[in-house]
């Protein structure tokens, strides 16, 4: 019989709060965490990046990046599971989920979503700006020089040069 690992928590209450916030606002990451990563940890398949290893105590620390929406990653950062493996005792110790600020806030308050991405109440304008900027960049931006008629491009260039000359004359006099 294959021996399996036991999953424990450093601080179960805080970890579960962050886990529920992921469940509520990012179902893709939650499903991957629950149905793919936890069973593999129990089976002794440790995914992610090995951050540190203590050979004396036989403790390995890992960071596992959970796949999620590209826009969420650009606005808030990767959702990362931090865990330690006690090889001798066959225990996987789940430490925390990051980004901690948005996940903790998501548990404490009812967050709104904007274009499918959760928005923090403490810096709502900044998050919405990032989302709008990313969406405009995905659509090749609002100002596309490649699709602009040549006469319009030359007109804008002429206006810009006239403004530079006007400002430089004002500064000199």
Domain of residue 55 covers: 6-123
Q: Is 70 inside a domain boundary?
A: yes
Q: Is 37 inside a domain boundary?
A: yes
Helix locations, the chain, DSSP H: 12-25, 27-32, 38-42, 70-76, 100-108, 124-138, 150-172
First-to-last CA distance in the chain? 90
pLDDT given at position 25: 79
Q: Is 143 inside a domain boundary?
A: no
Q: Is 114 inside a domain boundary?
A: yes
Q: Which residue has the higher pLDDT, 16 or 109?
A: 16
pLDDT given at position 145: 55
Q: Are 117 and 131 in contact (CB under 8 A)?
A: yes
Q: Is 103 inside a domain boundary?
A: yes
Q: Is 49 inside a domain boundary?
A: yes
Instruction: For residue 141, name the pLDDT band (cuts at 50, 70, 90).
Output: low
Residue of 21, 30, 7, 16 lying closest to 92 (CA atoms): 7
Residue of 116, 121, 126, 123 lying closest to 106 (CA atoms): 121
Can you read off the two tokens belonging to residue 58? 């036989």
Structurally, how many domains does the chain consist of?
A: 1
Q: What is the pLDDT of residues 10-19, one digit of tens each?
A: 999 999 988 9
Q: Is 159 inside a domain boundary?
A: no
The model carries a pTM of 0.69
Instruction: For residue 99, name the pLDDT band (cuts at 50, 70, 90).
Output: confident
């Amino acid at each position: 019989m294959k021996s399996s690992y036991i999953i424990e928590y450093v601080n179960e209450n805080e970890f579960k709060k962050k886990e529920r916030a992921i469940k509520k606002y990012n179902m893709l990451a939650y499903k991957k965490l629950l149905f793919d990563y936890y069973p593999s940890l129990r089976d002794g398949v440790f995914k992610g990046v090995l951050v540190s290893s203590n050979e004396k105590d036989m403790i390995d620390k890992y960071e596992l990046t959970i796949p999620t929406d590209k826009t969420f990653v650009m606005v808030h950062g990767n959702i990362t599971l931090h865990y330690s493996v006690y090889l001798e005792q066959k225990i996987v110790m789940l430490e925390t989920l990051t980004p901690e600020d948005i996940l903790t806030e998501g548990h404490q308050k009812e967050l709104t979503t904007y274009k499918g991405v959760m928005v923090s109440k403490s810096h709502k304008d900044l998050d919405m700006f990032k989302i709008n900027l990313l969406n405009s960049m995905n659509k090749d931006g609002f100002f596309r020089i490649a699709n602009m008629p040549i006469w319009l491009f030359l007109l804008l260039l002429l206006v810009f040069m006239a403004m530079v000359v006007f400002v430089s004359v004002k500064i000199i006099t």
